[in-house]
């Protein structure tokens, strides 16, 4: 079957791995989410800077605080993984690239998992 699209038409918006546009939008959307979420986090941090541990746990017992902190964690770690992926893809060449991309994903998952565990523990007082 003959393809009548021009070479530019065949690749427009796809990138070499056919996911460039999706990666671009994920990076931008997590950046926008981080503006709102990290602003909330900083305000919470400032408001609790002189608080005792008991007061901190009471703040995290509020479902809105726990959910917001979980969203901060998820959005920030996704954004971090995407940013490091771009750096690795642009500046690392040869055999080291694939292992570093894999380690980047594992690192982001470990950071998110540990952070979410701490948030759940603080929120439910376990």
The domain ranges of the chain are 34-124
CATH of 34-124, one of 1.10.443, 1.10.3470, 3.30.70, 1.20.1300: 1.20.1300
List Cα–Cα distances, 44 to 16, 22, 48, 66, 67, in angstroms: 42, 32, 6, 11, 13
Is residue 108 within 8 A of residue 80, CB to CB? The reply is yes
pTM: 0.81
Segment 80-120, tens digit of pLDDT:
999 999 999 999 999 999 999 999 999 999 999 999 999 99
């Amino acid at each position: 079957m003959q393809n009548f699209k021009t070479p530019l038409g065949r690749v427009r918006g796809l990138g070499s791995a056919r996911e460039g546009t999706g990666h671009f939008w994920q990076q931008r959307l997590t950046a926008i989410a981080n503006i709102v979420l990290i602003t909330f986090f900083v305000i919470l941090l400032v408001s609790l800077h002189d608080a005792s541990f008991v007061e901190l746990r009471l703040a995290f017992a509020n479902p809105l605080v726990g959910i917001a902190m979980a969203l901060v964690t998820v959005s920030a770690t996704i954004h971090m993984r995407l940013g490091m992926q771009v750096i690795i893809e642009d500046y690392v060449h040869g055999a080291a690239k694939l292992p570093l991309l894999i380690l980047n994903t594992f690192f982001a998952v470990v950071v998110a998992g540990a952070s979410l565990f701490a948030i759940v523990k603080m929120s439910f007082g376990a």
